[in-house]
Amino acid sequence: MNDRENAALVLFSGGQDSATCLAWALERFERVETVGFDYGQRHGVELTVREDFLAALKHSFAPWAAKLGADHRLDARVLKALGATAMTESVAIAMDTNGLPNTFVPGRNLLFFTLAGALAARRGIRHLIGGMCETDFSGYPDCRDDTLKAQQVTLSLGLGERVAIHTPLMWRDKAQTFALAQALGGQALLDLVLEHTHTCYLGERSERHDWGYGCGSCPACLLRAAGWARFVENGA
Ligand code: ZN
């Protein structure tokens, strides 16, 4: 296999899901790079913890550190210029009239994968990895399996070379995502996920729960806490 075939680019936000996907990619590919997007998030905390997670991962997992290549940061703040959402402005999290939560940033994952595909083409990388999931999902249409399969086809055609989009968490719930981290890197990886990833919509990191940091009451914290409880219940 050529180098492109063995190389992956992980869309790594600093959250639990993409951190687990990063470990998944490091188990499977010879060369793994990461990309994070600044889209004017309400809280810069995700972008800070992602660097801590990468450093801790390299420190604790030498075989993975040897495969881990460049970490890219791309500016996607044009998304914020398009309009306010609860992810980019201090507005209360609520349901919109279209039935979607106002944490939905229209076009976000479509843009992220387009940028990641373009970056991967420059870097000689075939595989794109994302933590999107339909199982626990909040109804975001750009996290759907069909959306991402269609985008895989679009990118492959538009870039003129076959691109593969992998979504290892697509059919896993949060408890299974914790279990996957444990299967990939044991207690050491689980500890890194708990300590160094961030999913709270409110950017709260002052309180450490058994499931990690967060406000404990936003939809992302509730999902993570419930997933952890089920994971422990299942005999972690
Ligand atoms: Zn929260």
Q: Which CATH number is 144's domain given?
A: 3.40.50.620
211 touches 194 (CB < 8 A): yes
The residue segments making up the domain with residue 18 are 4-233
Q: How far is the CA of 148 from the centre of ligand 1 (A)?
A: 27
Residues 6-21 pLDDT 10s: 999 999 999 999 999 9
Helix axes 174-196, 219-233, angle to 10 degrees: 110
Q: How far is the CA of 161 from the centre of ligand 1 (A)?
A: 40
Which residue shows structure tokens 């990461």?
Answer: 34
Q: How far is the CA of 129 from the centre of ligand 1 (A)?
A: 25
Residue 208 contacts by C-beta under 8 Å, 6 or more apart in sequence? none
pLDDT at residue 12, rounded to an integer: 96
pLDDT at residue 217, rounded to an integer: 92
- 94: tokens are 């609520």
Q: How far is the CA of 204 from the centre of ligand 1 (A)?
A: 6
- Separation CA 152–CA 148 (nearest Å): 6
Phi-psi map region of 29: left, alpha, beta (phi>0 left; psi -120 to 50 alpha): beta
Residue 102 contacts by C-beta under 8 Å, 6 or more apart in sequence? 85, 86, 91, 93, 94, 95, 96
- Separation CA 29–CA 99 (nearest Å): 39
pTM of the model: 0.92
198 touches 15 (CB < 8 A): yes
Number of domain units in the chain: 1
Cα radius of gyration (the chain): 17
CB burial of residue 187 (10 Å; 0-12, 13-18, 19+): exposed
Beta bridge partners of 166: 129
- The residues of the chain scoring below 70 in pLDDT are 1-2, 42-43, 84, 86-93, 136-138, 236
CB count within 10 Å of CB 154 equals 15
CB count within 10 Å of CB 210 equals 9
Residue (of 24, 36, 220, 32) closest to 112 by Cα position: 36
Which residue shows structure tokens 């790594």?
Answer: 12
Q: How far is the CA of 64 from the centre of ligand 1 (A)?
A: 30
Q: How far is the CA of 150 from the centre of ligand 1 (A)?
A: 32
Rounded to 5 degrees, what angle do the CA atoms 37, 34, 175 make? 90
